[in-house]
Amino acid sequence: MIRLIPDWAIHDEEFWLSIRKRNLWFIKLRYATVVVLFLFLLTYKFFLQIELSKIQSNALITIASIILLYNLSFQYFSKYLKHDSNAFNPLHLSILQMVLDLIMLLMLVHYSGGVDSPIYFFLIFHMIVGSLILPGIIIFSFALAVVISFWGITTGNYFNIFEHHPIRGLLNESNIHNFNYVLSVNIVFAMVIIITVILANNIARQLYQKEQQLYSYIEKLNQAEKEKTKYILGIVHELKTPLNALHAYLDIVLQKFLGPLDETVEEKLIRAKKRSDEAIEMINTILKVSQMKLMDEISYDLIDPEEILKAAILRHEQFANNKSIKIFYFDERKDKSLKIKGDKFLLVIALSNLVGNAVKYGFENGKVEVKIYNSDTNIYFEVCDNGPGIPEQEQKNIFQDFFRASNIRKMVSDGAGLGLSFVKQIIEKHNGVISFESPSRLKETNRPGVCFKISLPI
């Protein structure tokens, strides 16, 4: 199979989609051509002062029918073509379409008067389109074949090698035996075809080169992003060392190896240890998410959905108690033996983030409901609260990086607005879907709340 695709475009989905769109456009245009030809055959006697011979009428019917048949075939088979540079692909289909279209156009030129036919202008149009999508050597070969074929038709008519089929009434006098006219038309036609192909193909090649440069720049940006992520990973990882040391010293002091502690001091140290635990957990989360972005892969293990959900709740129970927020857990699964496949650490992060937000932004004496249930194909998690909710006009931005709802910013000053963005990335990495509604089903007066729903395949 002829290799036509440049290396940079082999795995470029946009390149293949653009070729498919052009093929589809030609298929639609071909249907329009068939309709025009049949309408012309049905109406020319009534509206145009021209006459067609029986041979011409039969030839036009045959040409229109052939175009319709191969167009239907192209439309059918185009659905099954793969984007494979080593097999018959959409670009090869473009070449085949162009070959057949040029043959049909040359037949139309022959049966509509040869050098007297106005249809040969469509050959120029076809060369322009072909120059935009085909490699230079292919389109120049087509251009040479078209010029030679047109010369063959016109000179064949001139020397009476082929029967001439003029459209009576189109011209007062035929020019097929006018040597100067035939020679002039052929020279001008050849020049126009060649110049058109050169200009159009050069423009197309320059555009492809610019596109290639753009992809190169994108690749460099992606590489720079990876290097930045690696740098962040290194720095964040180094932060764990002093925190782990601090954590160890606090353990030694709290275990009273250095002597008894004042009650007030002990309370402060316990709170400090808790904060250091949170910092280490946060660093581990950043490391894991950064690694996911860097490697673009996650581990897949069989996981009990109840286990990860309870682990997420456990992380925030104490904080919820401090705010007098009650967390209610409901297990409504029909089959509790069903598992999901994924990265346990990342899924706990995702669920923990939702539960943590419900507690963090919830009102005093509020409530949070966490539910798990299943269908035949999916496990569903729901985290609902009766907190401040999400303003309707801001809901479309909720999963964007660094976005924080305006009502939340007034309540809690800290937060980077990355949590829900990370959650969405994690869920989508597991082929799942996350959605939400606000107000939630737990809404109360001045407490609209929000309800997040996660669906993961069994």
Tens-digit pLDDT profile for residues 72-101: 999 998 888 887 777 788 888 888 998 999
| pLDDT given for residue 233 in this prediction | 63
Mean of per-residue pLDDT scores for the chain: 82
Question: Which range, of 198-212, 222-236, 253-267, averages the lowest pLDDT?
Answer: 222-236
Q: Which of the pair, 163 or 242, is modelled with greater confidence? A: 163
Average pLDDT over residues 374-389: 88
* Burial per residue of 354-373, b for 16 or more beta-carbon CB atoms within 10 angstroms, e otherwise: bbbbbbbbbbeebbbbbbbe
| pLDDT given for residue 1 in this prediction | 43
| pLDDT given for residue 291 in this prediction | 61
Whether the pLDDT of residue 283 is over 70: the answer is yes
| pLDDT given for residue 317 in this prediction | 82
| pLDDT given for residue 355 in this prediction | 87
Whether the pLDDT of residue 278 is over 60: the answer is yes
Measured CA to CA, the distance from residue 49 to residue 248 in angstroms comes to 102
Q: What angle do CA 311, 317, 320 make, to 5 degrees?
A: 140
Q: Which of the pair, 353 or 240, is modelled with greater confidence? A: 353
Question: Which range, of 37-41, 170-174, 237-241, 267-271, averages the lowest pLDDT?
Answer: 237-241
Whether the pLDDT of residue 136 is over 70: the answer is yes
Tens-digit pLDDT profile for residues 139-160: 888 999 999 999 999 999 999 8
Whether the pLDDT of residue 416 is over 60: the answer is no
Average pLDDT over residues 282-297: 64
What is the 3-state secondary structure of 51-117?
ECCHHHHHHHHHHHHHHHHHHHHHHHHHHHCCCCCCCCCHHHHHHHHHHHHHHHHHHHHHHCCHHHC
Domain ranges of the chain: 7-221, 301-457
Report the CATH number of the 301-457 domain. 3.30.565.10
Average pLDDT over residues 208-224: 78
Tens-digit pLDDT profile for residues 406-415: 656 555 545 5
Residue 4: pLDDT band (50, 70, 90) is: low
| pLDDT given for residue 413 in this prediction | 46
Whether the pLDDT of residue 404 is over 80: the answer is no
